[in-house]
Copies of this chain bind each other. A is one copy, B any other.
Amino acid sequence: MEVVYTGKTKDVYRQEDGNFLLKFKDDATGTNGVFDPGSNTVGLTIEGAGRAGLRLTKFFFEVLQEHNIPTHYIDADIEKATMTVKPAVLFGDGLEVICRLRAVGSFLRRYGAYAQEGQPLDYFVEVTLKDDAREDPPITEDALDMLGILSKAEYQILKDLTRRITQVVEAELAKKGIELYDIKFEFGRVGPEQQIVLIDEISGGNMRAFKDGRHIQPLELEELMLA
């Protein structure tokens, strides 16, 4: 199989049937051994993190399927730490779409003059460019449209999907007494109709979650959710 992309936390291969195979790695983003979903560097390697992330991703993508929310997911092989997905075309070189339920992280660093730490936010959606060299700059709907990355109609679909998916994840976490603070997604276009679907993964590495006021690390989140 041909390697299409080598990422920080997973590699992507093209299968002979045209579908893509995602290989989940044991690397997590962060700095100096501390996990940070907003970080651009691999900060730590945790034995079994790839499979744990895949198990949670499989769980969420199958729940989303039940909610008729479109994703690139076909199936997963936990043993091999791989997930088979439909081939998707990124928006530009890729976007990260963040949905915030509480003011923490980069939101607070930018807007701390107007928001208290931990303040509730009403499923606030924002988009950043995946561009390590430029530190993943935030980008507006107008700029996405002007630069030909995403039309205004597509932006509305993206925003609506982001909120619906966040609500599904939030509800699943709540069943285990866990509160979602924020989560990031990637989207792509799939098929001849260029349908906008959720791609990549939904694992502990994509979100900030708290239980009884304590931040839950990715591996612990995966254990709690799949226990």
Least CB distance, A141 to chain B, in whole angstroms? 7
Tallying the copies of this chain within the complex gives 2
A113 vs B110: C-alpha distance in the bound complex, in angstroms? 22
Do A134 and B112 touch across chains, with their CB atoms under 8 A apart?
Answer: yes
Residues of chain B within 8 A of A113, CB atoms compared: 92-93, 129, 131, 134
Least CB distance, A197 to chain B, in whole angstroms? 22
Taking Cβ atoms with an 8 Å cutoff, the residues of A that contact B are 92-93, 109-115, 121-122, 124-126, 129, 131, 134, 137-143, 146-149
Least CB distance, A58 to chain B, in whole angstroms? 32
Residues of chain B within 8 A of A112, CB atoms compared: 134
Residues of chain B within 8 A of A121, CB atoms compared: 146
Which residue of the partner chain, among B129, B138, B143, contacts A124 with CB atoms under 8 Å? B143
Do B129 and A111 touch across chains, with their CB atoms under 8 A apart?
Answer: yes
Which residue of the partner chain, among B110, B122, B142, contacts A137 with CB atoms under 8 Å? B110
Which residue of the partner chain, among B124, B143, B146, contacts A142 with CB atoms under 8 Å? B124
Which residue of the partner chain, among B93, B134, B139, B143, contacts A109 with CB atoms under 8 Å? B134
Do B114 and A149 touch across chains, with their CB atoms under 8 A apart?
Answer: yes
Do A143 and B126 touch across chains, with their CB atoms under 8 A apart?
Answer: yes
Which residue of chain B has the shortest Cβ distance to A138 in the bound complex? B138
Residues of chain B within 8 A of A124, CB atoms compared: 142-143, 146
Least CB distance, A110 to chain B, in whole angstroms? 4
Q: 10 closest A-B pairs (Cβ-Cβ)?
A: A110-B137, A114-B147, A140-B140, A113-B131, A124-B146, A138-B138, A110-B134, A93-B113, A92-B114, A111-B147
Least CB distance, A126 to chain B, in whole angstroms? 6
Least CB distance, A105 to chain B, in whole angstroms? 13
Residues of chain B within 8 A of A126, CB atoms compared: 140, 142-143
A134 vs B93: C-alpha distance in the bound complex, in angstroms? 27
Residues of chain B within 8 A of A141, CB atoms compared: 140-141
A143 vs B138: C-alpha distance in the bound complex, in angstroms? 12
